[in-house]
């Protein structure tokens, strides 16, 4: 089905944003991609440049912008610890000022706006799996707080703009997502392991590697974002992620096997505030959106490894 209207994607030159832009163009929308290239890159969207329905604007969402759009996906924000801790004040500004500016635009345009929140709003959770009712366990003064508390404040802003100004919001909490166009140096576990394995460097495990994570392939995530935006029954929050857990150690071993790498696996002490376990409860997404991840880890890793091979060839 061909759709009409212009969709703004902030952070559209990033990992998830670039896949989302691609999908929206495929669905028939005009797409306006806003990005300041803090962690994203033109390379991620170069195949879209030249499409008359795609427009790229270099813009920092700390500043207001006046454009005529019908829907907004607010994805702009550095997402990995190395990047969001590099300039923590900037990270808070992007979440807080950025949300205010995007919500102001949504209000002026009566546009529906979706916020890409994060599982990090649950902090180091004391409940497993995490459902949307859980309020979280976050250290407000730790090194991760610029991201966690910034995203929590963004959630507050979304709900207050909704209550106070009737802005048509949607809120999703994204759990670990992986796939082609992840930043090679972002310190996230999948990209770290794949890049290390392909370049013959050791794969570093923190602690004994028994901590678990669950990984959602980017195509599944984009499907969830689009379904959440399209429905009118709930504003959220809705968790999006893959509930299947895997230990970090098992992931490392799998990557080494799939890349035929000779890289060793080495161990280092656990960093502060590192959650021991992270697993989404996706019952709400399943019920509301009829959504669940379809791509298994093996297939997703194949695509991701192929991508990083092309980057490092
Ligand atoms: N990837 C994940 O596992 C994950 C998990 C939870 C939440 N999220 C959220 O999803 C969104 C996208 O994450 P991603 O993994 O694609 O990260 P990414 O770093 O690849 O993408 C973020 C994009 O936002 C841009 N950006 C950053 N600050 C900006 C600013 N002030 N103005 C304009 N553009 C700015 C960056 O240049 C980049 O292109 C983020 O909001 C992130 O918090 C991602």
State the Cα angle at 216 between 122 and 222, rounded to 5°. 100
Residue 208 lies in a domain: no
Residue 97 lies in a domain: yes
Burial code of 171-183, b = ≥16 C-beta within 10 A, e = fewer? bbbbbbbbbbbbb
Residue 70 lies in a domain: yes
Q: Is 195 in the pocket of ligand 1 (CB under 6 A)?
A: no
From first to last of its 313 residues, what are the pLDDT tens digits of the chain? 557 899 999 999 999 999 999 999 999 999 999 999 999 999 999 999 999 999 999 999 999 999 999 999 999 999 999 999 999 999 999 999 999 999 999 999 999 999 999 999 999 888 888 999 999 999 999 999 999 999 999 999 999 999 999 999 999 999 999 999 999 988 889 999 999 999 999 999 989 999 888 999 999 999 999 999 999 999 999 999 999 999 999 999 999 999 999 999 999 998 766 667 778 999 999 999 999 999 999 999 999 999 999 998 7
Residue 91 lies in a domain: yes
Residue 177 lies in a domain: yes
Q: Of ligand 1's atoms, which has the minimum distance to the CA of residue 62?
A: 31
Catalytic entry in 29, 122, 147, 178: 147
Confirm whether pTM is higher than 0.85: yes
Residue corresponding to tokens 């709900």 = 159
Residue 146 lies in a domain: yes
Q: Tell me which residue range forms the domain holding 125.
A: 6-182+217-243+278-294
Residue 237 lies in a domain: yes
Distance 262 CA to ligand 1 centre (A): 32
Q: Is 179 in the pocket of ligand 1 (CB under 6 A)?
A: no
SS3 string, the chain, reads: CCCCCEEEEECCCCHHHHHHHHHHHHCCCEEEEEECCCCCCHHHHCCCCCCCCEEEEECCCCCCCCCCCCEEEECCCCCCHHHHCCCHHHHHHHHHHHHHHHHHHHHHHCCEEEEEEEHHHHECCCCCCECCCCCCECCCCCCCHHHHHHHHHHHHHHHHHHHHHCCCEEEEEECCEECCCCCCCCCCHHHHHHHHHHCCCCEEEECCCCCEECCEEHHHHHHHHHHHHHCCCCCCCEEECCCCCEEHHHHHHHHHHHHCCCCCEEEECCCCCCCCCCCECCHHHHHHHCCCCCCCHHHHHHHHHHHHHHHHC
To the query of whether residue 147 is one of the catalytic residues in this protein, the response is: yes
CB 48 within 8 A of CB 101: no
Substitution candidate for ligand 1 out of 10, 37, 40 with most atoms within 8 A of CB: 40
Distance 35 CA to ligand 1 centre (A): 10
Q: Is 58 in the pocket of ligand 1 (CB under 6 A)?
A: no
Residue 308 lies in a domain: no
Q: Of ligand 1's atoms, which has the minimum distance to the CA of residue 119?
A: 6
Question: How many domains does the chain fold into?
Answer: 1
CATH of the domain at 10: 3.40.50.720
Q: Is 40 in the pocket of ligand 1 (CB under 6 A)?
A: yes
Q: Is 176 in the pocket of ligand 1 (CB under 6 A)?
A: yes
């Amino acid at each position: 089905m061909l759709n009409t209207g212009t969709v703004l994607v902030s952070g559209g030159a990033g990992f998830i944003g670039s896949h989302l832009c691609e999908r929206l163009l495929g669905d028939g929308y005009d797409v306006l991609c806003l990005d300041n290239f803090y962690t994203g890159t033109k390379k991620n969207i170069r195949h879209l440049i030249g499409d008359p329905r795609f427009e790229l604007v270099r813009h920092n969402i700390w500043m207001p912008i006046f454009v005529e759009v019908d829907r907004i996906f607010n994805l702009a924000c550095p997402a990995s610890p190395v990047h969001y801790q590099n300039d923590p004040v900037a990270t808070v500004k992007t979440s807080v000022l950025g949300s205010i500016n995007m919500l102001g635009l949504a209000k002026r345009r009566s546009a529906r706006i979706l916020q890409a929140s994060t599982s990090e709003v649950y902090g180091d959770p004391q409940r497993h799996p995490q459902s949307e009712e859980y309020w979280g366990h976050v250290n407000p003064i730790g090194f991760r707080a610029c991201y966690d508390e910034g995203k929590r404040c963004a959630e507050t802003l979304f709900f207050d703009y909704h209550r106070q100004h009737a802005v048509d919001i949607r809120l999703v909490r994204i759990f670990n997502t992986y796939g082609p166009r992840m930043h090679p140096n972002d310190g996230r576990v999948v990209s770290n392991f794949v890049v290390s394995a392909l370049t013959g460097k050791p794969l570093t495990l923190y602690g004994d590697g028994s901590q678990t994570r669950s990984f959602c392939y980017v195509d599944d995530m984009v499907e969830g974002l689009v379904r959440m935006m399209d429905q009118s029954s709930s504003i959220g929050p809705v968790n999006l992620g893959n509930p299947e857990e895997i230990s970090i150690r098992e992931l490392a071993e799998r990557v080494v096997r799939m890349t035929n790498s000779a890289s060793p696996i080495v161990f280092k002490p656990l960093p502060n505030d590192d959650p021991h376990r992270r697993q989404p409860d996706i019952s709400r997404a399943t019920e509301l959106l009829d959504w669940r991840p379809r791509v298994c880890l093996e297939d997703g890793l194949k695509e991701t490894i192929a991508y990083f091979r092309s980057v490092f060839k």
